[in-house]
Chains A and B, each alone.
Chain A
């Protein structure tokens, strides 16, 4: 089929041929081709569609080749963008903002510091913050909007475990490298394998087994325990994990009350009465954010902290906000304590804390540090991918490739990714102590558990693994107070 036939299938259309030619001359000329002479044009017009078709064909061949070359080049390496655009998901409103805002503030500080040090491979980070308080549907649509805007290169998402569970498959679908800066739930990698979703925090198994080990070690004659956890998967999972550990290690310990107030509950007065009536020796709680602060403010005047030993898994977040008594077991869910001995040894956390204090007037709490560590993991992945790539800007696939099995020294320790993309981090647990002259209590009598020993092997059911823990397992762990 000739070009003429292609454009003018009947004689009736012949008059339009020249128009088509002019149209193509106007809009389909090679930009790199030297401008045509009038002679060229005359010949071209005389030859009409045939010439044009041939030229079109050539253009297609050349264009296709060029496009393929460009794509191939792009696949191998890209030009450095003006900025490394990152979508950051956290709670900026509602009760969860008490945890989410320190995360956002941590992001702001670490971005400033990374950019001041020359950015990521010379490219400054630019963050778009998304409020998770809008709910899962809003979070998903914001994630998609950012992922498809053509400029966002990676995501740091999210705070809520529910949002992480929803986002992980979408990250794979959109092929978007995503660092789960907080997602604690162990269900994340038990429900599926995700190539683009990496979590540098460990998970609820390591976190809550650590607390169970600590308070069982602290109370050798323990007989009764009670729970007050938030009424969603994070709270229920934590209770199941701690109960499983108790059942395996001290089967004679009884659970005398289990309370699950709804997330964002303003009043805990009845729960305090219930716990007072149950008189447990240990009260375990993984309440967090404003819920935790509310509970402590309401429970403390009513003597609950004098009556029972209280374990606040996320207690470090309120140490400088409330006058907690001494002897409360608190932790940081991981190793994100800016002034831990390891953080001091690494030497980068103090500068982070100083900048944080200067800007926000308070010390960073562990959500801030967790967020900062997530950025450091992303930075390391980019740098590793660039190194692998001969110094050129990596593709998203190359970034994800670099995250596989990477080990990163963060502000507060070391994180290593397992094959299932779950990070291994140490767990710090301690008890509140008030140094002489100090304004607030701080964490003392600390232990730093090796994260690897607190995680079940990949693919093994987490609760089944906990049920196999033995007293000998406890004997081989470091003692409380050993982390100095």
Chain B
């Protein structure tokens, strides 16, 4: 009997001991999923934004995530090393993302990406893949191969106990920031002049051009915004993780899965898909750790089998 009770406590599931399940499993599971989803969302929404406006699947997008992470970590370490107030490491995260976007966005869009407009998808993918390889090697050259850690922002915010488990307050801040980015993108697209022009370009590029919209400028803005979102994801990830070569590739694959599940070009789709993918990963880690790595792709296969254009996508849909 003693063994049975102990088994029930260890294996508590929805039907039994629901209070225990709620506090020990369900709440931590949801918090973990939301915290994971936030970071995936930043990079996936940037990827999907670039695709919806430029019609280019940018394989180098993951590199901007890792570059954002490297710049944020370096800036954070520099701030600490010169003895500046540690809270400055927070604005440094946003500043890093802005710096990366301002430097790489216009430069790469004006050169490589613009050259691929109108070319076949295979050429576009090959060009952006080449860019990805170059950027990955540049990171190795500049930052070396050892992991870099800059965890001051995480330490400053402290911890909270949720469902009997200690969480970093920084993880909760990430969730809030992801919601702000989602809302901000909505407001930008629907309520600003540039956002409406972007929508027009997405709806019909040729007519927009005929109406006098500077489509090249719109492309540049969309690409730079995409770079900013990817770099923001990387920068915001640095306080809770080490930055090492290979980060970009892993993130890129996950971002593709999320964008495909949500429907390419769908901002809300990316948000929902990020939560589903993160939930799948967390569920796997909690209950079937062997499936951890493949969980996002299992979700992708299931979703695309039922809805080939993703949760929010349709064959003809061209909107952001």
Contacts and interface: CB of A to CB of B under 8 A. Distances in A.
A and B interact physically: yes
Interface stretch (B215-223, B239-247, B306-314): B239-247
A67 to B, nearest CB: 48
Interface residues of B, number: 44
A406 interface: no
A141 interface: no
Given A266-B241, A277-B24, A303-B159, A297 B151 contact: yes
A interface bracket (residues with beta carbon within 8 Å of B) = 20 to 34
A8 to B, nearest CB: 61
A287 to B, nearest CB: 12
Contact of B28 (A95, A273, A293): A273
B126 to A, nearest CB: 22
A94 B245 contact: yes
A418 to B, nearest CB: 35
Given A266-B242, A276-B28, A294-B242, A302 B159 contact: yes
B244 A276 contact: no
A256 B31 CA distance: 21
Interface of A: 92-95, 97-98, 101, 231, 254, 256, 258-262, 264, 266-267, 269-271, 273-274, 276-277, 290, 293-294, 297-298, 301-303
A133 B246 CA distance: 11
Interface in B35-85: 35-36, 39
A261 B286 CA distance: 12
Contact of B145 (A101, A261, A264, A276): A101
A305 to B, nearest CB: 11
A101 B146 contact: yes
Interface string B1-34: 0000010001000000000000011001101100
Nearest to A260: B289
| Most chain A CB within a 10 A radius of its CB, from B10, B147, B168 | B147
Contact of B25 (A92, A277, A294, A303): A277
A331 B290 CA distance: 27
A298 B290 CA distance: 21
Given A273-B28, A302-B168, A293 B149 contact: yes
Contact of B146 (A97, A267, A277): A97
B10 A256 contact: yes
Chain B facing A: main interface SS: helix
A270 B244 contact: no
Contact of B242 (A92, A273, A277, A297): A297
A276 B160 CA distance: 14
| Most chain A CB within a 10 A radius of its CB, from B29, B164, B237, B285 | B285
B292 interface: yes
Contact of A293 (B147, B245, B286, B293): B147
A97 B28 contact: no
B25 A302 contact: no
Contacts of A262: 292-293
Nearest to B238: A266
Contacts of B24: 277
Nearest to B165: A276
| Most chain B CB within a 10 A radius of its CB, from A258, A261, A267, A301 | A301
Contact of A98 (B6, B147, B243): B147
B73 to A, nearest CB: 12
A293 B281 CA distance: 22
B240 A298 contact: yes
B166 interface: yes
Interface in B246-302: 246-247, 250, 281-282, 285-286, 289-290, 292-293
A253 B290 CA distance: 22
B25 A290 contact: no
B168 to A, nearest CB: 6
A364 to B, nearest CB: 16
Contact of B286 (A231, A264, A274): A274
A11 B165 CA distance: 101
A226 to B, nearest CB: 11
A270 B10 CA distance: 18
Contacts of A261: 285, 292
A167 to B, nearest CB: 22
Contacts of B35: 269
B135 interface: no
Contact of A94 (B6, B164, B246): B246
Given A269-B36, A269-B240, 5 more contacts: A101-B145, A264-B246, A266-B250, A267-B241, A276-B164
Given A269-B32, A269-B240, A294-B241, A98 B146 contact: yes
A264 B28 CA distance: 24
A271 B285 contact: yes
Given A101-B145, A269-B35, A277-B28, A95 B246 contact: yes
Nearest to B10: A256
B167 interface: yes
A290 B285 CA distance: 20
A270 B140 CA distance: 28
A274 B31 CA distance: 12
